[in-house]
Each structure stands twice: as C-alpha cells, then as structure tokens.
Amino acid sequence: MRSLLIIRDTLRKIYADYDVYIRPVLKFLFALICILSVNSYLGYMPLLCRMPVVLIGALICAVTPPGTAAFVSAVFVIGHLSEVSMISAGLAFLMIVLIGGLFLGFRPGNAWILALIPLAFIWNVPFFIPVVLGLAAGMTAVVASICAVPFWFLMEYVHAHVDGFTNSLDLGALTTEFKAIAEGFLKSEYMYVMILMFVVVILLVSVVKRLPVDHAWTIAILAGIAAEALIGIGGGLVTGGGNLLFDLVGIFLSLGLALLYEYLFFGVDYRGTEKLQFEDDDYYYYVKAVPKIKPYDEDERFE
C-alpha cells in the first residue's frame, strides 16, 4: 500500500511544478465529461450535441473557475429541455438563478459539486458521492446537495415523460404542462428521500471524522455507509424509487473510494500515538500526536 503513497507524493510534486498547465486540462476534461453526459442523457437539441459546440463549452470551463462547469452544463440542460418543454426549461432556468444566488454567495469554491451530483445520477451511482463529499468537502457540500438533487429530478422527470410534452405555446397547454410537472416532479417522494440521504450522510461524516477518537475517519465512513443504506436504499424500497442493483454498486464504490481517500490523505499510524503535556504561565496543554504514515522508511530515504 505504501506504493500508493509514493504515487501520491510523485503526483503532488508534478502538480506543484506544472499546475499552471495541469489545472486547465483537468477543468477541461471534467467539463467535457459533464457536457457529454448531459448530451447523452437528454440530447433533444441537435445543435448542442455537435462536437464543436461541446468543445467550445469545455474550453470556456478550462479558462474559468472550476465551478463554471456546473453552469455551462446547466446551459446545455436548459437548451435540451427547451426543445421538449418550455415550462421545464423555464423551471430549470429559475432553479439555476436561485442556485447561483444561494450557493455562489455561500461557498463559490465548491460549485463544481453542483455538476458532480447530477453526473453521478446520470451514471446511476448517486450513492457513490455523499460519503466522499463528507470527507473531502465537509458540511458546505450540504448546500450543493440541496440545490443539485432537485435539479437532477427535474431532468429525470422530463426524460421519462418526453413523449407527453407538446411544447405548445398555447396557454391551456402550458397550464396543463405546468400542473403535470408540478405534480410529477415536486411531489416525488424519492427526491426528498435522496435529499435527506445526502444531507444526513454529509453532516454525519463531517461531524464524526472530527471526533477526538482513534480511527475517527474509518468510523465516519462506516457510519455514512450505514446511513446511506438505511435512508437511501430503505427509502427507495418504500417509495418505489431507485435501482437496488445500482444502489448497492454505488455503496460499495463509495466505501472503497472513501477508504482509499482516507489512506491517501489521512493515513496515520495509531501505534505510534504519543500524548504530550506542557504548560505556560496561563494554561496546561494536553496534546495527542499521531504520526502520519510515510511513503518511505527513514533508512530508505537516504539510500
């Protein structure tokens, strides 16, 4: 396993030396994956599916902040929805405006999560995300979840009922369409189950990982996985939503990735724990020091 730490440190060094080139490439690839996934799932407007348009969108994201990918992807979503239902496109646009005002004013640095969550739903592995977000992003990911999960369910509703939309501008047709979307989308019990799961798991993992106990991160991961199974899978069975096979795959992926993340970024050796005590004129200090797992032994470093 130490070879993973060696690879991690090597990649860190490469990134530190060439980050000015690597960051745009990573942002480009992330945006490209998001846009292609949206086009594959919806794909109602042929213009947006053309590769030059896709590449232009990804290039815009490559030279702008990471969160831009979420909003460029949303533009593609709105464009596709407008080909099917102006009501759904209008609702999506309104949600983006509200999300932009709420999330960008609260935590703009984590706006990329807004794209990651619908992406996980498109790939049928939403259970892959919450535990890892709790470890990596902390409690701020809760806001992104509350914003991104409903946006996905609007996409899913339109995708599932695309044959029932006429995209007519007649007032009566628009009213009927709005009522259908409101009843089908806003009254989706499974949507609220997934919002609850994301919020509970992210908060639970974020709190438990900070407890002053040995193996706090491992306990947080297991607690998060248990909450996912109880709320997500249990709620899905009760409401008739989700896919049991994909949900189980997502949970195991989440467990594996979370444990790998813990090892790479919080790898410690509790066998070497030391408890220190010292004082100054005003306080006594009690410190618990836990050594990190090193990729090299001390003797190997100087060979």
* Strand duo 284-289 + 274-279: pairing: antiparallel
- Please give the Cα distance from 27 to 21 (Å, whole number): 11
pLDDT of residue 246: 84
Q: Is the pLDDT of residue 106 over 70?
A: no
How many helices (H) does the chain have, and how many strands (E)? 14, 2
For residues 241, 92, 45, 167, the Cα torsion angle rounded to the nearest 10 degrees is 90
Question: Can you read off the two tokens belonging to residue 148?
Answer: 């991104």
Q: What is the overall mean pLDDT for the chain?
A: 84
Torsion of CA 281, 286, 290, 291, to 10 degrees: 20
69 contacts 31 by C-beta, under 8 angstroms: yes
250: Cβ–Cβ under 8 A, 6 or more apart, which residues?
120, 124, 125, 126, 127, 128
The winner for highest mean pLDDT among 93-107, 136-150, 158-172 is 136-150
Reported as a single tens digit per residue, the pLDDT across 21-40 is 899 999 999 999 999 999 99
Taking only the tens place, the pLDDT of each residue in 3-23 is: 777 777 887 788 788 888 899
CA proximity to 32, closest of 67, 59, 64, 66: 59
Model confidence at 213, in pLDDT bands (50, 70, 90)? confident
- What pLDDT score was predicted for residue 196? 94
Ranges of H-type helices in 42-140: 46-49, 51-62, 68-84, 86-106, 113-122, 130-136
Confidence class for position 108, pLDDT limits 50, 70, 90 = low
| Rounded (10°) CA dihedral 186, 189, 192, 198 | -140
pLDDT at 296: 63
| Residue 240, CA distances (Å) to 71, 115, 116, 246 in order | 31, 26, 25, 14
**pLDDT of 301:** 47
What pTM was computed for the model? 0.85
Q: How far apart are CA 70 and CA 49, in angstroms?
A: 17
pLDDT given at position 204 = 94
Residue 15 has what pLDDT? 79
Task: Tell me the C-alpha distance between 9 and 102, whole Å.
Answer: 37
* Among 139, 37, 151, residue whose Cα is nearest residue 94: 151
* pLDDT number for residue 303: 47
Contact present, 198 and 120 (Cβ < 8 Å): no
Q: Which one has a higher pLDDT value, 298 or 79?
A: 79
